[in-house]
Amino acid sequence: MLYVELIAQGLIQGSIYALIALGLTLVYGLLRILHVAHAAFFTLGGYVGVVVANQTGSLAAAIVAAMIVAGLGGIVVFRLCYQPILHQPPFVPLIASIGLYIAAEELFRIVFGPSGLTYKYAFLQGEVELLGFLRFKTGELVVVFGSAAIIGVLSLLQTRTRIGVACQATVSDPQMAESFGISLSRVGDINFFVGSALAAFAGVMVSVLNNMVEPTMGSVPSYKALAIIVLGGLGSVRGTLVAALVLGVVESFGTIYLGHFLDRNAIAFAFLILVLMWRPQGLFARS
Amino acid sequence: MEYEISLATTMAISVLFALSLNLITGFCGQISLGHAAFLGVGAYTSGMLAKAGVPFLLTLPAAMLLASALGVIVGFASLRVRADFLAITTMGVGFLFVGVVRQQDALGAEMGISAIPDAGMSKFAFMLFAVLAAAAVALLSVYVRGCWMGRVFGAIAEDEDTVRVLGIDVPRFKLTAFALGTALAGLAGALYAQQLKFIAPDSFGFIESITVLSMVVVGGIGSVVGVTVSAAVLSVLPSWFQVIGDYKLLVYGGLLFLMMRFSPGGMAALVARIFHPDRWGTK
């Protein structure tokens, strides 16, 4: 019983990780940069979500608004911040991105205050019972099935539409793709839009579940998401999804059995380091 | 005067710490996002030993040795994984350090260690000691950069595979860089613990790692003078201007980003550009 519960909790946490990490992986696959500032869109999503929800009373409107605002923000960051430094050695965009994230976190604190915002209405707080002994909040189920649905639709779009195929082509060979008339900037825009919008969705859902939006809510997920895409083999979408779920489960078991020795974050990174020493290219690297 | 002395001590310790990272990241090109962990190892070693009655000066070698031993272990990771993978691994090491220390009651857990015994030096003597240590490390850095080992470091930073092809034992040099850099970080940590007389796990977390990295990057990766100046300035800026104190992280984050966006070579490159406009872009 305990095991099933731990696995279920791990999968819920894992699907939140997956939503965040997917954007990172899209960006890494395309540009080969570790986009630390990605988590700023998770936080931004939370803030836009709580503000819109409290104004309109509609969670759906909050989610849509958060995803659109974060998506557009992603495009701005790509165009203004990353595109001009793509030809630099990899540590340059990495450090720029860390700087951007720290500055963004401080901006949230200055604009919205350090203590955080809460929802005026209680969304998705009802409880659902499954199999007789597992109890979930409605919100937790929405997270799991919502992310599964979104990821399913995205993978269909990626293989069935012209623009999706263009994205794939760009990832596997940017120069060749460009000579076939694909605009690298537009593919970048799309990837940043989609990735940031997914992070914003995760941000809204997490803030609804905890009924709290804080300036620092992105920091731990941001470092975890980095660990996840590295585990997944950097740039591999399938690897990222599996790694996110695995990490969620490892953490939920770890906090029970190793909790007195390592805290939750340390467990995630201990797992990362162990895996990397065994397979330096990540769990599911493409050759 | 008391206040100026403590500022100067803080400055010297920051310069020492930043130069230690510069050895690894600047000279040898191995990016580290968890360098504060080694500051922490040094601080905890020195603090615990001092509380056990060991004289401060004797805790210094112990702090350096232990930090360096752990540094070599992390150095082994740099042989396994490279570039982006290494950055994330070292970040993990930083989180691991804080996560482990937080749960150890023997190390004071969340509360840290307080009331670390005095070194028996006056404040002024301690400042002189810290400044001399920082100056010695700066001289050591200049020496290392000029010697054969430093040249190999530079070559590894530039193009590791070519160095390997030339028949140079790359792992040995990388491990040396890690051993040296982390030992010096341990020294900085011991001084830090002695200056504040109080340490807690959160002082050695990711933010501290990023702060020291920003000192190195803003100064100019690999430039001894640049890093020294930027570490000295950035470490005391928050106390000089209370306004900046409140917005400290915004300023750090913004500086890091703007520096990378407009001058990836840091201040050193900016200065070089101003004084030698004809050599634009050759380096």
The DSSP code sequence of chain B is -HHHHHHHHHHHHHHHHHHHHIIIIIIS----S-THHHHHHHHHHHHHHHHTT--HHHHHHHHHHHHHHHHHHHHHHHHHS-HHHHHHHHHHHHHHHHHHHHH-GGGTGGG-B--PPP-S--HHHHHHHHHHHHHHHHHHHHHHHHSHHHHHHHHHHHHHHHHHHTT--HHHHHHHHHHHHHHHHHHHHHHHHHHHS-B-GGGGSHHHHHHHHHHHHHH-TT-HHHHHHHHHHHHHHHHH-HHHHHTHHHHHHHHHHHHHHH-TTHHHHHHHHHH-GGGTTT-
Tell me whether residue B180 is in a domain. yes
ipTM higher than the 0.85 cut: no
A209 or B245: whose pLDDT is higher?
Answer: A209
Residue with tokens 């100064």: B219
Chain B hits for A98, CB-CB cut-off 8 Å, are 33, 210, 213, 253, 256
State the virtual CA torsion across A43, A48, A49, A54 in degrees, nearest 10.
130
What distance, in Å, lies between the first and last C-alpha atoms of chain A? 39
Q: Please give the residue of chain A at the shortest CA–CA distance from B25.
A: A91
* C-alpha to C-alpha distance for B64 and B106, rounded to whole angstroms: 21
Q: Hey, what are A274's tokens?
A: 């162990």
Angle at B264 between CA B258 and CA B266, to 5 degrees: 80
> What's the mean pLDDT in B76-105?
83
- Tell me if B41 is assigned to some domain: yes
The more confident residue out of B17 and B210 is B17
Chain B, 79-98: which have a CB under 8 Å from a chain A CB?
A: 80-81, 83-85, 87-89, 91-93, 95-96, 98
The model's confidence at residue B68, banded by pLDDT at 50, 70 and 90, is very high
Testing the interface with A: which of B89, B260, B262 to mutate, by most A Cβ within 10 A? B260
Domain of B49?
A: 2-203
Q: Is A134 helix (H, G, I), strand (E, B) or coil?
A: strand
User: Between chains, do A269 and B217 touch, taking CB under 8 Å as contact?
Assistant: no
Tell me which of A8 and B188 has the higher pLDDT.
B188
* Interface A-B: count of C-beta contacts within 8 A: 137
- On chain A, the residues whose CB falls within 8 A of the CB of B31 are 91, 94
Helix locations, A78-135, DSSP H: 91-112
What pLDDT was estimated at residue A285? Answer: 64
- List CB contacts (< 8 A) between B87 and chain A: 34, 91, 94
Cα–Cα distance between A188 and A78 in angstroms, integer? 7
A129 forms beta bridges with: A135
Per-residue pLDDT at B280 exceeds 60: no
Beta-carbon separation of A81 and B257 below 8 A: yes
Give the closest residue to B236 by CA, choosing from B36, B20, B12, B7.
B7
pLDDT in the model for residue A140: 83
B222 CA: distance to closest CA in chain A (Å): 13
Find out whether B187 and B63 touch, Cβ atoms under 8 Å. yes
pLDDT at B183 over 90: yes
Using pLDDT thresholds of 50, 70 and 90, give the confidence band for residue B278. Answer: low
Give the gap in angstroms from C-alpha B86 to the nearest C-alpha of chain A: 10
B125 touches chain A (CB under 8 A): no
Q: Does B217 touch chain A (CB under 8 A)?
A: yes
Does B245 lie at the interface with A, CB-CB under 8 angstroms? no
What is the DSSP-derived secondary structure letter of residue A120?
S
DSSP secondary structure letter of residue A82: I
Task: Identify the pLDDT of residue B283.
Answer: 41
C-alpha dist (Å) from residue B207 to A70, A230, B213, B277: 25, 21, 10, 36
Q: Tell me how far apart the alpha carbons of residues A109 and A214 are, in angstroms, rounded to a whole number.
A: 8
Half-sphere exposure of A147 (CA within 13 A, CB side): 31
Q: Residue B277 has what pLDDT? A: 66
Residue B54 confidence (pLDDT): 84
Give the total number of structural domains in chain B: 1
Tell me: pLDDT of B211 over 60.
yes
**Between B33, B103, B253, which is nearest A262 by CB?**
B103
Q: Quick check: A90 and A33 in contact, CB under 8 A?
A: yes
What's the rounded mean pLDDT across residues B121-129?
A: 85
- Interface membership of A256 toward B (CB under 8 Å): no
Chain B residue with minimal CA distance to A274? B89
DSSP codes, A230-269: HHTTSS-HHHHHHHHHHHHHHHHHHHHHTTTTS-HHHHHH
Does the structure show a pLDDT above 70 at B243? Answer: no
Amino acid found at B209: S
Residue ranges per domain, chain A?
25-218
Q: List chain A residues with pLDDT less than 50.
A: 287
Q: What is the pLDDT of residue A71?
A: 93
A121: left (phi > 0), else alpha (psi -120 to 50), else beta?
Answer: beta
Return the percentage of chain B with pLDDT > 90, whole number: 20
Closest CA to A44 of A143, A115, A117: A117
| Structure confidence at residue B245 (pLDDT) | 62
Q: Tell me the per-residue pLDDT of B128-154, one tens digit each, with 9 for 90 and over.
A: 889 999 999 999 999 988 888 888 888
Q: Residue B184: its pLDDT value, please?
A: 93
Q: Is residue B212 part of a domain?
A: no
Parallel, antiparallel, or unpaired: how do β-strands A127-130 and A134-137 relate?
A: antiparallel
pLDDT-derived band at B241 (thresholds 50, 70, 90) equals low
When pLDDT is cut at 50, 70 and 90, the band that residue B188 belongs to is very high
What is the separation of C-alpha B2 from the centre of its chain, rounded to a whole number of angstroms?
Answer: 26
